[in-house]
Structure 1
Amino acid sequence: MKDFFKQVAATFVGLLIFSIISSIFIFIGLIGMSLSGSQSNTIKNNSVLVLNLSGSMNERVEDDFQAKITGQMTGQIGLDNLISGIRKAKNNDNIKGIYMEFGAFTADSYASMQAARNALEDFKKSGKWIVAYGDIYTQSNYYLASVADKIYLNPQGQIDWRGISAQRLFLKDLLAKFGVKMQVAKVGAYKSATEQFTGDKMSEADREQTTAYIGSIWKNILKEVSKARNLSTGKLNEYADSLITFAAAEDYLKMKLIDGTLYTDQIKNEIKKRLELKDSEDINQVSLADMADEPDDEAYSGDDQIAIYYAYGDIVDGAAGGFFSRKQNIDAQTVCKDLEKLKDDEKVKAVVFRINSGGGSAYASEQIWHYIVELRKAKPVVVSMGGMAASGGYYVSAPANWIIAEPTTITGSIGIFGMFPDVSGLLKEKLGVKFDEVGTNANSGFGTLSRPFNAEEIAYLERYIDRGYKLFRHRVAEGRGMTDQQVEKIAQGHVFSGEDALKIKLVDQLGGLDAAVKKAASLAKTKSIYTKSYPEPVNWLDQLLGEVRNESYLDDKLRAEFGTYYEAFSILKTINKQSAIQARLPYMLKIN
């Protein structure tokens, strides 16, 4: 017994010591963060803003306290921070130019790249220069780099320029090997999300719409690169058809895609020449982090607030993980509460709802739709669409006073579906599980794992789905000032680019977040404004006490190995936890 108490006491003391040591490390980390945050970031004269473009760019990157403490930073760039930093650099007389160095850099969409490129275009209006350098330019990176005054490439580098393709992954035959089939009820000839699990190739309707919207995106890319590099769109298409990805660097120079070839150490001399520095002098470099605390001369400053509410990721009903979850979601329960607070906040005169989502739960989308309707009764609501605002993403956008999209935004997809796995083949044929059943009523066994739905049950589901589709269609008609019949002509799950959506009145204007803020101020009839972003950052204490990450180390490794293909498989492990009725784009949309 004495040994038992000794062991208990030892365990208690060990835990106490561990807690004390952990607290000390956290305290030291907090002091370091505090000191670094309090240091002056005054920009020296003759500086250059250095954009090290590697990792991934998302709508908004949360300030991760845990990552700062442990030193395990995510390698993510927030589009909002990037645009803000570029705008501040434009108006700072001490910054003479921007140097962009491209690494393995990706963005969630071409629309995000387009927004960043537009900010760089605006920077050049100040008369300042931009220089780009890369060892290898991916196609989307070259699109962004093309805005530069000069583009340099490593002598052994490459430019990936081959046009855009959209790939679908089909899992029907894979599931069949395990005795699993997907039972589907859907509305919309173009609603192709379910085809991934029920077909083995793209339907003609999906092929038609996909060809149209990737064609629209490519046309925008060609137009802007053509203007920047003084090359015809025909010549750029010729290069793409020739697969110049494998050309020699000197050939890119002849094609006028670059302005020179340099090794990494040689690019410094090019920057020094522009800054009129001697070889012995150092370059004053400024990072995006340095720009964070600098004043923004173009920032709105006034008495009336325009709230910018960021909503990006899958639309779900209930959080799918805590703050440290790697997968960002639009949790309807949280969003609705936030929107209600904005409605009741007298300081807020208008709301810009920044949406980047391919949809998700139809039920959750309806809840957010309701709260935006209520918000609009109190103050103007302007939607700013990012890379995607489709299906459920469009559902929640429809009631806004005004909708603004990037030309390369993917939107529309007005349609819903229900998808239910039939695992009876796996259980009975593969695993040898036997079932028997008794029931009190005709449909008391509905949803059982022992058999697929019968014809009568499928008919009930289809009527339910059809009712949900008609509600979605009517919501759009109400919001856009159309009849249900007019919406039907552009619905059926049809996906459009932002540019094409403007032609059919699904959006009101092409542009970015700044255009949305200006429109919101105009609708609110106020000029003395300031902007504030929501949801507000989670403070360090709430992060520390919050829920742990809900994904495993294995998830991270598989995602790193399979890239975007991983998302298609990961949906299988959570399919029973999702809302039965979905308003979303295809589960996996890979655009190269």
Structure 2
Amino acid sequence: MRSFFKYVLATVTGISIVVVLFFAVIIGLIMSTVSQMGSGKEIDVPSDAVLYVSLNHAITERTSENPWDGLNVPGYGDVKSLGLNDIIGRIAAAKDDSRIKGIYLNPTYVNTGMASLKEIRDALTDFKKSGKFVVAYSDSYTQKAYYLASVADKIYLNPEGGLEFNGLSSSIAFVKDALQKLGVEMQVVKVGTYKSAVEPFILNEMSAANRLQVTAYLESMYGSFLSNVSEGRKISVDSLRYIADNYLVRNADDAVRLKFVDGKLYKDELLTELKKRLKVEKKKDVPSISILDYVGSSNKEQSGDRVAVVYAYGDIVDGEGSDNNIGGDRFSRELRKLRTDDRVKAVVLRVNSPGGSALASDIIAREVELIKAVKPVVVSMGDYAASGGYYISALADSIFAERETLTGSIGVFGLIPNLQGLLNNKLGVRFDEVKTGKYAGLMSSPDKPLSEEEKAIIQAEVNRIYGTFTGKVAKGRSMTVSAVDSIGQGRVWTGSQALQNGLVDGVGDIQRAVKSAAAKAKLKNYRLVYYPNVKDPFSSLLGTSKEKIRAWMLGDELGEYRQYIEQLQTITRSSGIQARMPYTIEIR
């Protein structure tokens, strides 16, 4: 008995110590966060410095508050990151900052879409107008990294490094056979010849229609890609195509010979080159500041008139959603507030979304239409503004997209899994039900296939929603419904193609959209306000971190393959009828 109490006491003592230590760590983290917030100290920028730009982190549309910056905490990490808004803003600030003499660009790996990459490239091009230099250096260049680097005055490569330049490709993972082995059948209802979101679940390769659209938009993006590289490196587009088709650039020697880079340098030699440009003594370090730490000066107008920029990025979902997606209720509420706010004279909706819930898309589109009735609303499209992403854009006064933006995908689908083979045959699980009406159990039994009558009911709803979708696009774009249908059918277009077929009004970035909105509102002096409001660090600190921890663990184990698991989860968890991009497109 004495031993029993001894072990119980030891256990209780141990648990108490763990609890005390846990709360001590939490308190320490909170104090650290308060200290960082309270200091608010901007890192000093040396005189005659270079701005160091390395984009080796995930680039979202907008910088999010992270109270864990600098701390290795699961779900948050120990690496700072910037959103596209701050990357572009800080490069613009550096252009007019007398302390910054040039940019040292180190784009070994760039984790963002082609449209966002083009916006960063344009910011660097604008920076060069100041007469300041841009020097790019890397141990190796991926194709995206080289596309960004091609804007530089000088490009250098490690003597033993490589440079990838062999054309764009896009691949899709098909899981039909895997599902078949599990005894899972995907039942599909859709509208749109090109609406291929369902293909990975029912086919083993692209349909002819899907292959046609992928080929078309890849060629369109590739044309823009080659044109920009050609302009930056003074190499003809035909020569670039020939080099890529024959894979002539493989190593540093090839890159120098074909004038893709200006020289082979080791890191120490690159630093010597920078010192010469900055007229720094050999024994001294290169004065520099990272774009992660650089803030620059703020010259915002402080007049009462406002232009609101609303960031809508991620999947479109029903309900409130989260910081990483577009909740129909949350975003419609934000837009409603802006509509009734007399200080806000115009609204810019920044859309970077592959779509999602058709219902949530319609709820948001309604608010866009209501804003348009009382004040200008202009859409700026990022990497994606497809399907539901286009749905919420269509009723705006004007739409701007980058040439590389993927948009359109005007189509609707429903995906209903039949788990009969898995549950009945493999697991021995069966369901039985009692119902008061013929269709009372519609889609409620996972082990029963849809009857032909049930399929007809769902198909009728899909058709109705497609009719609503095309009707709103027709209204917003001043087109006939038949004209919208001819360029709809789920087909994906690039921004360049969308400009030709009337789905967008112009090619340009978010700055152009802001200027357009201000001009429509007849504003000369105004300030920008951003929505939704970014959560303060305490909200992030005290809020649930379950999803972030899960995402961190998944990414740590699967690396780049994590995206395929997440795509599968997104599709299978989606409820209701979807207006969604066929798939996430990774350009390599």
1:370 equivalent to 2:346? Answer no
In 1: Cα distance, 2:71 partner to 2:328 partner: 31
Unaligned runs of 5+ in 2: none
Secondary structure (helix, strand or coil) at the match of 2:231 reads helix
Amino acid at match of 1:353: L
1:583 counterpart = 2:588: no
Q: 1:195 to 1:565 in 2, by over 3 A?
A: farther
The reply on whether 1:379 has 2:375 as its aligned counterpart is: yes
2:529 partner SS: strand
Could you tell me which residue of structure 1 aligns to residue 510 of structure 2? 513
After TM superposition, give the deviation of residue 573 of structure 1 in Å.
4.3
Check conservation: 1:568, 1:587, Cα contact below 8 A.
no
1:265 to 263, 268, 278: 268
Out of 96, 101, 107, the residue aligned to residue 96 of structure 1 is 101
SS at match of 2:102: strand
- The structural deviation recorded for 1:549 is 2.7
Q: Answer yes or no: is the 8 Å Cα contact 2:220–2:494 preserved in 1.
A: yes
Secondary structure of the residue aligned to 1:77 is: coil
* Equivalent AA in structure 1 for residue 369 of structure 2: V
1:560 and 1:24, CA in 2 relative to 1: closer, same or farther beyond 3 A?
closer
Cα distance in 1 for residues equivalent to 2:447 and 2:18:
49
Given that 1:160 and 1:244 are in contact with CA atoms closer than 8 Å, whether structure 2 keeps it comes out as: no
Three-state SS of the structure 1 residue aligned to 2:292 is helix
Matched, 1:498 2:495: yes
Deviation at 1:588, TM superposition (A): 3.6
Which residue in the other structure is 1:531 paired with? Answer: 528
Query: Residue 369 of structure 1: CA displacement?
Result: 0.6
Does residue 357 of the first structure (1) align with residue 362 of the second (2)? no
Q: Deviations over 1:342-364 (max 9, x none)?
A: 12222211111101011011111
| Structure-2 separation of matches of 1:146 and 1:175 | 44
Structure 2: distance between partners of 1:300 and 1:220: 35
Q: Which position in structure 2 is the counterpart of 1:311?
A: 312
Whether contact under 8 Å (1:420, 1:580) holds in the other structure is no
Distance 2:238 2:26 in 1: 63
Does the residue aligned with 1:579 lie in a helix, a strand or coil? coil
| 2:57 matched residue in structure 1 | 55
Residue 569 of structure 1 deviates from its aligned partner by 3.2
Distance of aligned partners of 1:190 and 1:16 in 2 relative to their CA distance in 1, 3 Å threshold: closer
Structure 1 match to 2:175: 171
Matched, 1:213 2:210: no
Query: Residue 556 and residue 9 in structure 1: after superposition, are their counterparts in 2 closer, same or farther (change >3 A)?
Result: closer
The letter of the residue matching 1:29 is S
What residue ranges of structure 1 are gaps of 5+ in the alignment? none
Aligned residue runs from structure 1 range 95-494, under 5 A: 95-107=100-112, 109-244=113-248, 247-292=250-295, 294-297=296-299, 299-319=300-320, 328-436=324-432, 438-447=434-443, 448-494=445-491
Q: What's 1:548 paired with?
A: 545
Secondary structure class of the residue paired with 2:152 = coil
Instruction: Give the letter aligned to residue 565 of structure 2.
Output: F
After TM superposition, give the deviation of residue 590 of structure 1 in Å: 2.7
Distance change in 2, residues 1:36/1:279 (3 Å): farther
Q: What is the one-letter code of the residue matched to 2:587?
A: I
Q: 1:571 to 1:161 in 2, by over 3 A?
A: closer
1:541 to partner: Cα distance: 2.1
Q: Is the 8 A contact 1:54 1:75 kept in 2?
A: no
CA distance 1:74–1:318, change in 2 (3 Å): farther
How far apart are residue 32 of structure 1 and its match? 3.5
Report which stretch shifted further, 11-20 or 389-398.
11-20
- Deviation of 1:563 after TM superposition, in Å, equals 5.1
The DSSP-based 3-state class of the residue aligned with 1:590 is coil
Q: Secondary structure at the match of 2:438?
A: coil
**CA deviation map 1:324-377 (0-9, x unaligned):** xxxx21111211111112122222111111010110111110111111112222
Residue in structure 2 matched with residue 80 of structure 1 by the alignment: 85
Q: Is 1:30 the counterpart of 2:33 in the alignment?
A: yes
* 1:585 Cα deviation after fit: 0.9
Q: If the length of structure 2 is used for normalisation, what is the TM-score? A: 0.93
Checking the alignment, whether the CA contact within 8 Å between 1:363 and 1:579 is kept in structure 2 is no
Q: 1:373 to 1:177 in 2, by over 3 A?
A: same
Contact (CA 8 Å) 2:364, 2:392: kept in 1 or not? Answer: yes
Distance in 2 between the 1:36 and 1:344 partners? 37
Alpha carbons of structure 1 residues 155 and 291: separation in structure 2 relative to 1, 3 Å:
same
Hey, what's the Cα distance between the residues in 2 that align with 1:288 and 1:8?
50
By percentage of residues, which structure has more strand? 1
How far apart in 2 are the matches of 1:177 and 1:16? 47
Q: Secondary structure at the match of 1:103?
A: coil
Cα distance, 1:265 vs structure 2: 1.5
- Structure 1 residues 300 and 260: CA distance shift in structure 2, 3 A: farther
Report the CA distance between 1:102 and its aligned residue: 2.4
Identity of aligned residues (%): 41
Letter in structure 1 aligned against 2:266: Y
Structure 2 letter corresponding to 1:259: D
1:201 corresponds to which letter in structure 2? E
Q: Report the Cα distance in structure 2 between the residues aligned to 1:416 and 1:8, rounded to whole angstroms.
A: 58
Q: SS of 1:30's equivalent?
A: helix
Contact 2:109 2:145 in 1 (8 A): no
Q: CA RMSD in A?
A: 2.4
Q: Distance in 1 between matches of 2:23 and 2:493?
A: 57
1:486 alignment partner, SS class: helix
